[in-house]
């Protein structure tokens, strides 16, 4: 077996001047040579030898800086060479070279995320963090020195500790921000580690950060040495030969340890990119959760539940009942005039019954108003459960064949039956009957229908459903407003108050905190005024719905009394073959309880607010002296409208008193069939009152109610808008004040926790090994 003798390593020539060394490495200007690894190693050996001989010469360090900048691309060595140039009294040209190379290096490094971020902004921020670190350490030393004195000034010590904590916070925030931006920066790692070591005495974490910074630097150095490695077998042998040379600077690291020449280049590049700092502390704003902040106040604008649509619905249903009775009265008047023309009815001295043309004209006008009223009520209905009451066929309408009276002055209904229908169909049937009655070809023997009974009862039922629905919605709105207001305001404030009390018991709170917290709390709670007013508005808005509806129902009841009086006075007796009970009726007149004095169960279930108040419009309608309540245009121009009344009267109360007095006189008659006729003064006065001023007074009272309700709504809406604006402004101001108190409390709480960390006794056992 033959032994191969490796060639003897060539000895470097001994150069005596810097110029000779500079000429010796000029072969790097040839592109082919500087790509070979053995040429790079030779150049580094020459520069290492020159550095030992001429280490105090600025020109030598300038040459090394140019080499590292142009060939090795090692920023660590480049920075070290430029620093040595400045330390060895450089000339003007070398100073300019240092400035230019530093500027170029900063521009390159600022664009990437390398290990040494030396940008201008980075350096300024790092210098500020270092300065804050030194100030914090100085204040902390002063505090410890003050504690060691015999006469301890605790106020001064607290101020020193507060200043130390403030400067530490500023330094820590800067380091944390730079750690996020430059996780591989060895400068930041060492600076942050020094902060942890000096202020918190966290030696273990600081040592880990120092070791990580050293590992990053060594890895970068290894990559720069092997960056031009080739796969040529001869070059690998030369690399091994030169790396075994004891004088080679490529065979040693900066700490003097040998480098493994067989390291994998791709593996090292991957490891370089995988370095991420494990010590980035994400404090910033999350730690302010030590003190729970106020959630944004949920300011709910309460809707005023009284809508104009609801008022229109209440008004429409009242008008439907009134107009249905008007049509029935006019139909009764047509029959009376028809009987007069046939010689059946004596009308001598009767003045309250209009002539036929007037009856037909007013009936047609009333029918048109009824159609418009039904349309308004039907279209404005939003609740589906109520909407079905207009269209569902659940109403039994009673119909009958009418036979005129003969010589015995008795009329007869030969047959009666009931048909199922809905509210709209019944109103259409009424319209058809009325159109037939006012026509010139009307046959008195045609079918008749019980207009007032079914219409009044169904309209009453639907109206009460509207009232109950509005009250339920108002209650739901109030409950929702109170609950949401409690959750939005009281709960966050209670949580913060509890946290404030807890913090106050464990920390020192400045006086300004209490002032701002109190003012902010009062301003934010002022929005409860808006909630209270909104709740009142929601309840007050539905209080008069029942009153408006009952006013229309009162007109229908007055019409019922008038019809009863006319029927008592009529000489014609109608014979009914059978009796159909209105199953929807709650009025005892249309049920089997007609002989008993009992109330209407639906009406008795309503709660009505007092409508008469001092100096109100309703009071003026009720009691002020007036000459006319106009029901239709031109009524006030009719002389002697009301039978037996020729002068002004004191409001609606006077007319209502006359009407009730007439009713009492008719009831007191012992023989109504012989003592009561159309010529009776009470009958004529009741008929004229319901035809003119009494019905007009009911309308005027209803208009007064609507005006008062509308005015109240406008006032409440204006107050709500003003309070809403004031509440928003107050909440904004209060929120700003409470935000500042939150910052104060956070700083106090953080400072209190820092005080414990700064206390040497907290980690005495760990530091002494006990």
Same domain, 331 and 467: yes
**Who wins on pLDDT, 225 or 480?**
480
- DSSP 8-class letter at 62: H
Let me know if residue 667 belongs to a domain: yes
Let me know if residue 20 belongs to a domain: no
What are 724-756's pLDDT values in tens digits? 777 777 767 766 666 666 666 666 666 666 666
Residue 357 has pLDDT above 80, yes or no: yes
Q: How many residues are listed for the chain in this entry?
A: 770
**Who wins on pLDDT, 189 or 661?**
661
- The whole-angstrom separation of Cα 287 and Cα 505 is 20
Residue 421, H or E segment: strand 410-421
Same domain, 314 and 463: yes
Boundary (domain end) residue, out of 720, 743, 760: 720
- The whole-angstrom separation of Cα 118 and Cα 161 is 33
- The whole-angstrom separation of Cα 304 and Cα 405 is 58
| Structure confidence at residue 227 as a pLDDT band (50, 70, 90) | very low
Q: Write a three-state SS string for 12-43.
A: CCCCCCHHHHHHHCHHHHCHHHHCCHHHHHHH
- The whole-angstrom separation of Cα 407 and Cα 393 is 41
Residues 366, 368, 369: CA angle, nearest 5 degrees:
65
Mean of per-residue pLDDT scores for the chain:
74
Same domain, 202 and 341: no
Specify the pLDDT at position 322: 85
Pairing between β-strand 573-575 and β-strand 410-421 as defined by DSSP bridges: parallel
With pLDDT > 90 as the criterion, what percentage of the chain qualifies? Answer: 7
Cα-only R_g, the chain:
52
Specify the pLDDT at position 759: 60
Q: Global pTM?
A: 0.55
Adjacent-strand bridge partners of 447:
401
Let me know if residue 158 belongs to a domain: yes
- The whole-angstrom separation of Cα 314 and Cα 386 is 13
Boundary (domain end) residue, out of 226, 242, 271: 226
| Tokens found for residue 346 | 């004596």
Specify the pLDDT at position 7: 56
The residue-averaged pLDDT of 233-255 equals 39
Same domain, 510 and 618: yes
Residue 621 has pLDDT above 60, yes or no: yes
* Residue of 531, 529, 532, 501 lying closest to 514 (CA atoms): 501
* Residue 1: count of CB within 10 angstroms of its CB: 2
Residue 132 has pLDDT above 70, yes or no: yes
Sheet of 447-449: strand order equals: 447-449, 395-403, 410-421, 573-575
Boundary (domain end) residue, out of 171, 206, 226: 226
Please list, in sequence order, all residues whose beta carbon lies within 8 angstroms of the beta carbon of residue 527, skipping any fewer than 6 positions away: 297, 299, 489, 727, 730, 731
Residue 193 has pLDDT above 60, yes or no: yes
Give me the long-range contacts of 434-440 (CB less than 8 A, separation at least 24).
434/327, 434/331, 434/363, 434/364, 434/367, 435/367, 437/331, 437/334, 437/363, 438/334, 438/359, 438/360, 438/363, 438/364
Residue appearing with tokens 């000429």: 23
Same domain, 496 and 593: yes
CB 607 within 8 A of CB 470: no
- The whole-angstrom separation of Cα 189 and Cα 195 is 10
Residue 282 has pLDDT above 50, yes or no: no
Specify the pLDDT at position 624: 93
Q: Domain of 166?
A: 115-226
Specify the pLDDT at position 299: 39
Residue 78 has pLDDT above 80, yes or no: yes
The residue-averaged pLDDT of 83-94 equals 86
Residue 248 has pLDDT above 90, yes or no: no
**Who wins on pLDDT, 109 or 256?**
109
CB 318 within 8 A of CB 548: yes
| Structure confidence at residue 242 as a pLDDT band (50, 70, 90) | very low
**Measured in whole angstroms, how far is the alpha carbon of residue 229 from the centre of its chain?**
65
Find the DSSP H helices in 26-117. 31-34, 37-53, 58-67, 75-87, 92-111
Let me know if residue 246 belongs to a domain: no
Same domain, 455 and 570: yes
Let me know if residue 276 belongs to a domain: no
Q: Which of 133-137, 142-146, 270-274, 337-341 has the highest mean pLDDT?
A: 133-137
What are 155-182's pLDDT values in tens digits? 788 788 778 888 888 888 888 888 888 7
Let me know if residue 395 belongs to a domain: yes
Let me know if residue 15 belongs to a domain: no
Specify the pLDDT at position 686: 94
Q: How many domains does the chain have?
A: 2
Let me know if residue 64 belongs to a domain: no
| DSSP-derived 3-state class of residue 314 | helix
The residue-averaged pLDDT of 362-389 equals 81
What are 23-71's pLDDT values in tens digits? 888 888 888 887 888 888 888 888 888 888 888 888 899 999 888 888 8
pLDDT-wise least confident of 329-333, 610-614, 711-715: 711-715
Torsion angle (degrees, nearest 10) of CA 665, 668, 673, 675: -60
- The whole-angstrom separation of Cα 183 and Cα 192 is 12
Same domain, 192 and 341: no
CB 376 within 8 A of CB 312: yes
Residue appearing with tokens 């229109």: 312
Q: Which of 212-226, 353-367, 439-453, 528-542 has the highest mean pLDDT?
A: 353-367
What are 285-329's pLDDT values in tens digits? 333 333 333 333 333 333 433 345 566 777 788 888 888 888 888
pLDDT-wise least confident of 23-32, 80-89, 185-194, 569-578: 569-578
């Amino acid at each position: 077996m033959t032994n191969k003798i490796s060639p003897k390593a060539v000895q470097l020539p001994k150069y005596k001047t810097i110029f000779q060394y500079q000429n010796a490495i000029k072969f790097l200007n040839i592109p082919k040579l500087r790509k070979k690894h053995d040429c790079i190693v030779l150049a580094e050996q020459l520069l290492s030898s020159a550095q030992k001989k001429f280490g105090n010469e600025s020109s030598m360090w300038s040459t090394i800086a140019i080499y590292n900048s142009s060939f090795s691309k090692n920023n660590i060595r480049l920075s070290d060479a430029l620093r040595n140039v400045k330390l060895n009294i450089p000339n003007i040209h070398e100073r300019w070279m240092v400035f230019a190379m530093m500027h170029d290096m900063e521009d390159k490094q600022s664009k990437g995320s390398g290990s040494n971020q030396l940008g201008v902004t980075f350096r300024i921020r790092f210098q500020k963090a270092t300065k804050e670190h030194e100030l914090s350490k100085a204040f902390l030393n002063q505090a410890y020195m003050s504690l060691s004195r015999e006469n301890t000034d605790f106020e001064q010590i607290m101020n020193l500790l507060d200043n130390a904590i403030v400067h530490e916070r500023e330094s820590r925030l800067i380091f944390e921000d730079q750690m996020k931006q430059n996780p591989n920066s060895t400068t930041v790692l060492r600076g942050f580690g020094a902060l942890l070591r000096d202020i918190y005495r966290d030696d273990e974490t600081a040592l880990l950060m120092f070791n990580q910074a050293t590992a990053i630097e060594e890895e970068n150095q290894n990559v720069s040495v092997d960056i031009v490695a080739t796969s040529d077998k001869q070059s690998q042998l030369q690399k091994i030969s030169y790396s075994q040379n004891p004088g080679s600077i490529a065979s040693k690291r900066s700490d003097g340890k040998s480098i493994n020449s067989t390291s994998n280049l791709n593996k090292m590049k991957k490891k370089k990119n995988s370095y991420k700092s494990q010590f980035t502390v994400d404090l910033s704003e999350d730690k302010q959760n030590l003190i729970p902040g106020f959630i944004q106040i949920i300011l709910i604008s309460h809707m005023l539940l009284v809508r104009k649509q609801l008022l229109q619905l209440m008004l429409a249903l009242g008008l439907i009942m009134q107009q249905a009775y008007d049509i029935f009265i006019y139909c009764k008047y047509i029959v009376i005039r028809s009987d007069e023309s046939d010689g059946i009815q004596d009308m001598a001295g009767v003045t309250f019954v209009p002539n036929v043309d007037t009856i037909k004209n007013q009936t047609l006008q009333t029918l048109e108003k009824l159609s418009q009223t039904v349309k308004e009520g039907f279209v404005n209905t939003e609740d589906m459960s109520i909407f079905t009451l207009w269209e569902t066929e659940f109403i039994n309408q009673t119909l009958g064949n009418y036979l005129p009276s003969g010589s015995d002055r008795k009329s007869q209904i030969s047959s009666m039956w009931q048909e199922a229908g809905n509210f709209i169909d019944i109103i259409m049937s009424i319209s058809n009957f009325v159109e037939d009655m006012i026509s010139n070809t009307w046959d008195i023997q045609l079918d008749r229908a019980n207009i007032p009974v079914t219409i009044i009862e169904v309209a009453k039922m639907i109206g009460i459903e509207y009232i109950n629905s509005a009250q339920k919605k108002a209650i739901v709105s109030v409950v929702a407003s109170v609950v949401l207001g409690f959750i939005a305001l009281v709960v966050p404030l209670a949580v913060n108050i509890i946290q404030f009390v807890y913090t106050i018991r464990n920390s020192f709170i400045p006086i300004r905190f209490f002032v701002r917290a109190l003012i902010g709390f009062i301003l934010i709670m002022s929005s409860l005024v808006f909630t209270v007013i909104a709740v009142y508005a929601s309840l007050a808005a539905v209080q008069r719905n029942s009153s408006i509806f009952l006013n229309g129902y009162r007109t229908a009841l007055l019409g019922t009394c008038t019809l009863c009086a006319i029927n008592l006075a009529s000489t014609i007796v109608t014979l009914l073959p059978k009796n159909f009970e209105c199953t929807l009726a709650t009025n005892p007149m249309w049920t089997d309880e007609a002989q008993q004095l009992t109330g209407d169960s639906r009406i008795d279930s309503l709660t009505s607010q007092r409508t008469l108040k001092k100096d109100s419009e309703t009071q003026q309608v009720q009691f002020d002296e007036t000459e006319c309540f106009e029901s239709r245009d031109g009524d006030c121009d009719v002389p002697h409208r009301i039978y037996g009344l020729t002068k002004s009267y004191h409001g609606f109360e006077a007319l209502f008193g006359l009407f009730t007095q007439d009713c009492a006189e008719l009831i007191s008659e012992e023989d109504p069939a012989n003592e009561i006729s159309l010529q009776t003064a009470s009958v004529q006065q009741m008929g004229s009152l319901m035809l003119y001023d009494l019905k007009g007074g009911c309308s005027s009272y209803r208009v007064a109610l609507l005006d008062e309700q509308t005015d109240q709504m406008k006032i409440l809406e204006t107050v709500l808008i003003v309070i809403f604006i004031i509440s928003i402004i107050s909440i904004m101001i209060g929120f700003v004040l409470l935000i500042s108190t939150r910052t104060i409390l956070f700083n106090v709480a953080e400072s209190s926790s820092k005080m414990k960390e700064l206390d040497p006794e907290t980690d005495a056992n760990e530091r002494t090994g006990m």
